[in-house]
Amino acid sequence: NESAEISLKDIDQLASNSFPLCMRHLFDKLREDHHLKHGGRIQLNLFLKGVGLKLDDALAFWKEEFSKKVGAERFDKEYAYSIRHNYGKEGKRTDYTPFACQKIISSTPSVGDHHGCPYRHFSEENLRAALNKMGVGGRQQDEVMDKVRNRHYQLACTLTFEAIHGTSCDTGINHPNQYFSNSQKIRQE
């Protein structure tokens, strides 16, 4: 599912145009809090690797935010390793695969965590607010909430995708990186 390289200067625009809600939420929280806990760092970092952010750019991206909170030195000491590790550059040099929806949906975020799938893990109130922010309101939003109530989280995400892009997504959404590449395909048409 690896696509073309993306450039760090485009990342905010790509996030608002083409990230699924799970990644959008992590991205916004990182920009806001200058910090993410372990589960959020892995979920977002592997996704970014999958969309084509190079390791050097990933390190610069995480460092820019974490430096504002813990300082550059502590970032280099405590956090850079696991960023490189996700990219397969440390330890056993495993090339870790970005998480699919099923894995994200079945994760168990605790208080203060921001990973997981918002359709599964947000309260109704927070999910509705997030959907409003993405421009999905009214009847479209109610249809999304219907799927959520029936525990069809990926269908809820698919409906959101269709509402945002104004086109059908017949394959459905099963992977955040698939959401991203489908979105980019449509945006570039």
Under the rule (CB under 6 A), what is the footprint of ligand SF4? 20-22, 101, 104-105, 117-119, 153-154, 157, 173, 176, 179
Cα-Cα end-to-end distance for the chain? 19
Smaller CB distance to ligand SF4: residue 20 or 40?
20
Closest contact distance (angstroms) between CB of 48 and ligand SF4 is 14
> Residue 65 corresponds to which tokens in the numbers above?
């935010």
Smaller CB distance to ligand SF4: residue 39 or 176?
176
Angle separating helix axes 138-149 and 124-133, nearest 10 degrees: 140
Closest contact distance (angstroms) between CB of 72 and ligand SF4 is 31
Q: How far apart are CA 61 and CA 31, in angstroms?
A: 10
Closest contact distance (angstroms) between CB of 105 and ligand SF4 is 6
Closest contact distance (angstroms) between CB of 74 and ligand SF4 is 30
Closest contact distance (angstroms) between CB of 81 and ligand SF4 is 26
Smaller CB distance to ligand SF4: residue 92 or 168?
168
Q: How far apart are CA 118 and CA 122, in angstroms?
A: 5
Smaller CB distance to ligand SF4: residue 73 or 170?
170
Q: How far apart are CA 12 and CA 70, in angstroms?
A: 22
> Residue 149 corresponds to which tokens in the numbers above?
């109530």
Smaller CB distance to ligand SF4: residue 63 or 128?
128
Contact call for residues 11 and 72 (beta carbons, < 8 A): no
